[in-house]
Amino acid sequence: MNLISRKLCLALISATVIFAGCTKKPRPVPPDTTPTGSAIEPAPLGNLADQSANGLQQRTDGVIEDADTIRNLLQPVYFDFDRSAVKPDQKANIIAAADYLKKTPQYRMLLEGHCDWRGTAEYNLGLGDRRAQAVKRLLQSLGVSPDKLQILSKGSLGAAEKGSDDQMSKDRRVDFVILKK
């Protein structure tokens, strides 16, 4: 009896394992229907040039705006290779940013420091931070309140690796990102 009950238990366990692993595969749903089988109508797309999947809107002037930020409204501040000192010819861009913040007191500004691809990731993060800090100091000297300014170093993220001299000079910058909230 003991031997028979063991064999029976083993047979039941084996059957359970085998049949539990054999589930019916779902049928594929045609792409033009919902899982319940009803047909779906595509929504009108509108002007695709002005919209993207994540809610960004790019205007004809190159400005990119979403619910929280405005990018490319103000000209960036460019830097020399391996330097964080603001060049005299770039101070007009900082003055324009200060004027914008004074005219729109409801907004704040994020200063994004960037570098070209050369250098280690750690070094480039530090250099991007020093560049953003330099722009922040000049904005404060122009009367912008420190609580209106935030900094973020992007380092060499997004930089064109082994890019031309012209491309690398565009990667060495601080971008002004307007924060709506």
| Structural domains counted in the chain | 1
Assess whether pLDDT exceeds 50 at residue 48: no
Is there a domain that residue 139 lies in? yes
Is there a domain that residue 51 lies in? no
Is there a domain that residue 26 lies in? no
Q: Residue 119: its pLDDT value, please?
A: 94
Assess whether pLDDT exceeds 90 at residue 168: yes
Q: Provide the pairing of β-strand 69-71 with 173-179.
A: antiparallel
Dihedral sign for Cα 67, 72, 73, 78, please: positive
Note down the domain range covering 140: 74-179
Task: State which H helix or E strand residue 153 sits in.
Answer: strand 149-155
Residue 173 makes CB contacts below 8 A (sequence gap 6+) with 76, 77, 78, 79, 114, 131
Dihedral sign for Cα 166, 80, 78, 130, please: positive
Dihedral sign for Cα 28, 34, 39, 43, please: negative
Q: pTM value? A: 0.68
pLDDT digits (tens, 9 = 90+) for 83-139: 999 999 999 999 999 999 999 999 999 999 999 999 999 999 999 999 999 999 999
Q: How many C-beta atoms surround the C-beta of residue 104 within 10 A?
A: 13
The CA dihedral of 86, 88, 94, 96, to the nearest 10 degrees, is -170
Assess whether pLDDT exceeds 90 at residue 52: no
**Which of 32-46, 48-62, 90-104, 130-144 bottoms out in mean pLDDT, i.e. has the lowest?**
32-46
Is there a domain that residue 131 lies in? yes
Q: Residue 61: its pLDDT value, please?
A: 80
Is there a domain that residue 151 lies in? yes
CATH number at residue 149: 3.30.1330.60
Is there a domain that residue 27 lies in? no
Is there a domain that residue 99 lies in? yes
Is there a domain that residue 148 lies in? yes
